[in-house]
Structure 1
Amino acid sequence: MQGSAQPSIRQLGVAAPCRSRRSLVCRAASGVKEVTLLDYGAGNVRSIRNAIKHCGWTIKDVKSAADITSADKLIFPGVGAFGAAMESLEQQGYTQALKEYIKADRPFFGICLGMQLLFDGSEENGGCEGLGLIPGQVTHFDKSKGLPVPHIGWNDLIQKHPSTLLSTVGDRRVYFVHSYHATPSPENAEWVLATAEYGGEFVAVVQRGNAYATQFHPEKSGAAGLDVLRSFLEPEVVAARPAPEATSNGRPRGLAKRVIACLDVRANDNGDLVVTKGDQYDVRETASTGEVRNLGKPVELAGRYFDEGADEVTFLNITGFRDFPLGDLPMLEVLRQASKGVFVPLTVGGGIREFTDGSGKHYSALQVAAEYFRSGADKVSIGSDAVYAAEEYLANGGKKAGGTAIEQISRVYGAQAVVVSIDPRRVYVAAPGDTEHLTVKTSKPGPNGEQYCWWQCTVMGGREGRDVDAVQLAKAVEDLGAGEILLNCIDNDGAGQGFDIELVDAVSSAVTIPVIASSGAGTPEHFSEVFQKTKAAAALAAGIFHRREVPITAVKEHLNSSGIPARTA
């Protein structure tokens, strides 16, 4: 507290810290519940921190190998590339201490890459050795099976034998986001606690003794994930509870289609961050008042959507990042505050690019993205900069420059952390030969009866068209390293007449990464239509959720009743 002396521990009513070396007896006497967190510096670790605190535990960070050795409970979250993670562990001197800790059968919990690193090795990064504790190699999902990769979303677990760790999950889905996986085999059977299905079975949870690890993210798996985390932290408490009753009621199983809530965020005329409508449209209440349309506060709305069952929440900052991305402290604080109570994935977009500030200091796109990850984002969305990168890529005959925002961020944090937002509009032509761009024969003829159209990509919030089409852009950014596409449609946005099915079908059929359909949803039936008629992995809406015209629960119930898997608990 600036301007005043800090209160003493006694004044705050907190017991003075015990002086003995990490004594269990001491902590029990003081009522402190502490877990050690191994953060080697990759990805969004704020989310697992918030989840641990939500469960009533405090955190001790690993600063040296001795902290691993002295830990009573150790959590190891991992995000990013296998090789970079192993290199970081080696450089910091953690590898041997970590292996000895797990071999000694002490309480350990690995998450995502923190599970994969336990295996012998991975084919990622050209082949890397792992910790060698679990037999088997980590391999890339087979794209030839026709499923989008990365595997992103809420999937069912197939439990192989009873365990306290999963005793409270029941039949609820959990959240996965990964391109690489381990395969169950006779050699690692004693470790495999649960698998999941995605083009074949893969290892979803491992356990041997007191060592546990999950391929899914408990900190992003809603109430089910928090229950898994509590089961590790306090197994004796969880074991005393009755097993949950089944809630599926015959629902479709497998990877759920995601329903995403989107918040367009900007500063209003008073300088407050509010949720409004995209800046290529009318964001003002009326022409006479000139005030920014205010649909709510972003943190409160994000919390509401989490409670209502949104599978992900996306923040699109439509003005604040453009001139000085790292100077937009209010939006960073929105992420920090939202991640305290929203335990599903958070995506942030708007100005994720390199820039030079007023003093001449240069910041790379990677540095900008890193700040958002540290503030609570799980993914960053890149818009206009992705179009420019794709144009350069296409002009160079498909040769990668290596320094684009997509490539930089994907290389360090993994493809699953990079979303490319495409903002196209329809361009009608009388015949395919009238343009060099990919056309489709449309069921919605143009103003002069044109039977064909293509979709022109735009930049600057839809204000400037470019000579690249949506399918070209999608294929280019996939090759550059993007892990997901957020596909908007300027023509349909706000109309409430449904998604542009022809656009979504064209793009989702052209790439092997997940596509999120956006723009135009007005009823639950619009969601089922886009999932039934295209390969979209998710669908996003904004206004209908903000204004409570269509509840998220109604969308989920409709999808399940239509035979389309959707997470409902």
Structure 2
Amino acid sequence: MLTKRIIPCLDVDMGRVVKGVNFVNLQDVGDPVAIAEFYNKEGADEIVFLDITATHEGRATMIDVVRRTAKKVFIPLTVGGGIKTVDDFKDILRAGADKISINSAAIRNPQLIKEAADKFGSQCVVVAVDGKKREDGSGWNVFINGGRIDTELDALEWIRKAEELGAGEILLTSMDADGTKQGYDIEFTDAVCKAVNIPVIASGGCGNLQHFADIFKESGADAALAASLFHFRELTISQVKEFLKSNEIEVRL
């Protein structure tokens, strides 16, 4: 059985880690390099950096942040936000990232998934999906632009297509669960896990130790991502892993 991964997520805005609720009231949490180094020492399996504003001015800063972070951490580093072309992939990978996460750009240009997978390998290509349950309860739609635009694409159909095009992993955020601290969206996550044969990272809604155990026991998720829980020291990565181990869930201690 593959070990389950615990992944802290750092939302980076103009070179600083921030945390807000639904992208508003952003609080400065600190320097991304120092925070990533701390999580590396604490036993995180991977780190995800998301450049949440991805302004043109911020791009150079982000590459610098990636470069400085890559020197300090020895676990896989995934970077996303504002990546639109194969050249963007190349620049961020060259700066030291191990994987690239694409979201809106993949929807607008699905061939980007194929081009990047052909050039750099599927293992580098993470397709991030923000999904929300339809009002009639018939399934989930994909949203882009930080959850502001409903593409009206069916999430499961889109994720299957992403896999066919060469995505190596899905980073799945449930907009219904995000920020609630009521637990991961098990129904949505499990539906996605059953739809594809590539790893799925669950994101959105984690509020306590039990939620980590639940997502692994009740869905096929390969990894669980969290942000504010770790940033504000409500839980440590080692606490999460010890708890999972005691619940007979395989983790790397």
Q: Mapping of 1:273-284 within 5 angstroms? A: 273-277=15-19, 280-282=22-24, 284=25
Shift of 1:279: 8.3
Counterpart of 1:413?
A: 120
Closer/same/farther in 2, CA of residues 485 and 423 from structure 1, 3 Å limit: same
8 Å CA contact 2:129, 2:142 repeated in 1: yes
The yes-or-no answer on 1:334 pairing with 2:92 is: no
Shift of 1:453: 3.9
Shift of 1:550: 1.0
State the Cα deviation string for residues 273-313 of structure 1 (Å, max 9, x = none). 2111368531x2xxxxxxx4101111111011111110000
Q: Distance in 2 between matches of 1:524 and 1:332?
A: 34
8 Å CA contact 2:117, 2:124 repeated in 1: yes
Structure 2 counterpart SS, 1:277: strand
Q: Distance in 2 between matches of 1:255 and 1:467?
A: 34
8 Å CA contact 1:280, 1:463 repeated in 2: no
Q: Distance in 1 between matches of 2:108 and 2:92?
A: 22
User: How many aligned residue pairs are there?
Assistant: 253
- In the alignment, structure 2 segments of 5+ residues that lack a partner are none
State the Cα deviation string for residues 144-181 of structure 1 (Å, max 9, x = none). xxxxxxxxxxxxxxxxxxxxxxxxxxxxxxxxxxxxxx
Shift of 1:319: 1.0
Q: Mapping of 1:454-469 within 5 angstroms? A: 454-469=139-154
The yes-or-no answer on 1:510 pairing with 2:195 is: yes
Shift of 1:428: 2.3
1:378 is aligned, of 66, 86, 98, to: 98
8 Å CA contact 2:16, 2:30 repeated in 1: yes
Structure 2 counterpart SS, 1:488: strand
Q: Distance in 1 between matches of 2:222 and 2:91?
A: 28
After TM superposition, which residue ranges in structure 1, 4 or more long, deviate above 4 angstroms? Answer: none
Amino acid at match of 2:121: G
8 Å CA contact 1:352, 1:382 repeated in 2: yes
Under a length normalisation based on structure 2, what TM-score does the superposition of the two structures give?
Answer: 0.96
Q: Distance in 1 between matches of 2:53 and 2:241?
A: 32
Amino acid at match of 2:19: K
8 Å CA contact 2:106, 2:113 repeated in 1: yes
1:315 is aligned, of 29, 45, 49, to: 49
Counterpart of 2:209?
A: 524
Counterpart of 1:484?
A: 169
Counterpart of 1:127?
A: none
- In the alignment, structure 1 segments of 5+ residues that lack a partner are 1-253, 268-272, 285-291, 354-364, 391-403, 430-451
8 Å CA contact 1:518, 1:540 repeated in 2: yes
Q: Distance in 1 between matches of 2:159 and 2:108?
A: 13
Q: Mapping of 1:217-236 within 5 angstroms? A: none
Amino acid at match of 2:18: T
Structure 2 counterpart SS, 1:423: strand
Counterpart of 1:549?
A: 234
The yes-or-no answer on 1:293 pairing with 2:27 is: yes
Under a length normalisation based on structure 1, what TM-score does the superposition of the two structures give?
Answer: 0.43
Q: Between Structure 1 and Structure 2, whose CA radius of gyration is higher?
A: 1
The yes-or-no answer on 1:265 pairing with 2:7 is: no
8 Å CA contact 1:416, 1:482 repeated in 2: yes
Shift of 1:320: 2.5
Q: Distance in 1 between matches of 2:231 and 2:32?
A: 11
Structure 1 counterpart SS, 2:220: coil
Percent identical among aligned pairs is 45
Shift of 1:558: 0.9
Q: Mapping of 1:552-567 within 5 angstroms? A: 552-567=237-252
Counterpart of 1:238?
A: none
State the Cα deviation string for residues 120-167 of structure 1 (Å, max 9, x = none). xxxxxxxxxxxxxxxxxxxxxxxxxxxxxxxxxxxxxxxxxxxxxxxx
Q: How large is the Cα RMSD of the aligned pairs?
A: 1.5
Q: Distance in 2 between matches of 1:500 and 1:409?
A: 29
8 Å CA contact 2:126, 2:168 repeated in 1: yes
Structure 2 counterpart SS, 1:295: strand
